[in-house]
Amino acid sequence: MLVDSEPIANRIFAEALAELGLHLTIEQMYAEFVGRPMAYCLKRVAELSERAVPPQFESELRMRTFGAFRRELRATPGIETALEALRIPYCVASSGDHEKMRETLGMTGLLSRFEGKLFSATQVPRGKPAPDVYLFAAGKSGVDPSTCVVVEDSPIGVQAGAAAGMTVLGYSAHMDRDQLTKAGATITFDDMLGLPKLIEAL
């Protein structure tokens, strides 16, 4: 949720799936894929379409997605102001790989804030909703997981943060807040400008 990538990525993904004959709504895309590692997504596509995913699908999807990112991607509204106001260390623990994180954060001018603080599910045995990437990030940062606050925008991510024993704030600008709450979010919010005060209150 540092960058407003999910609406773009899911639109492009849905278009690519439609070309394979698998037609999903944006709501279905969010429910099936948001917060999941790409390996899981491709496996799920094969299950839903009942046929193997073409070998070039992932590379072509990545090319199309990053092309759209270069044209359309913006930082999440209010995130830069929120980061400036935070008085605690922060990092990224993502289902995306390092290339994707560096590309998207670089495109939006946020990368310099996270140099040396990028952690990927590709570095751990299990992706979200398992807690591995959050526990890995906490360990590398030298902090107790119980003292960490996770900000997540998908039920899968919320489940991962909660499973790690961390307090989870659910960002609901693009996701139904009830789904985030049911997944384990302690608080939901839809304006990044309010994030510093929420964290201070905890």
| Cα–Cα distance measured from residue 99 to residue 101, given in angstroms and rounded to the nearest whole number | 6
Mean pLDDT of 105-134: 96
Residue 89 tokens read as 């260390």
**Residue 106's pLDDT band (boundaries 50, 70, 90)?**
very high
Query: Is pLDDT above 90 for 174?
Result: no
**Residue 36's pLDDT band (boundaries 50, 70, 90)?**
confident
DSSP 189: E
Mean pLDDT of 112-133: 96
Which residue shows structure tokens 């807040």?
Answer: 177
Mean pLDDT of 187-196: 97
Domains defined for the chain, CATH in brackets: 6-72 (1.10.150.240), 79-201 (3.40.50.1000)
Residue 26's H or E segment, with its range, is helix 26-33
Q: Which of 41, 30, 39, 65 is nearest to 154 (CA)?
A: 30
Q: Which of 169, 119, 179, 175 is nearest to 6 (CA)?
A: 175
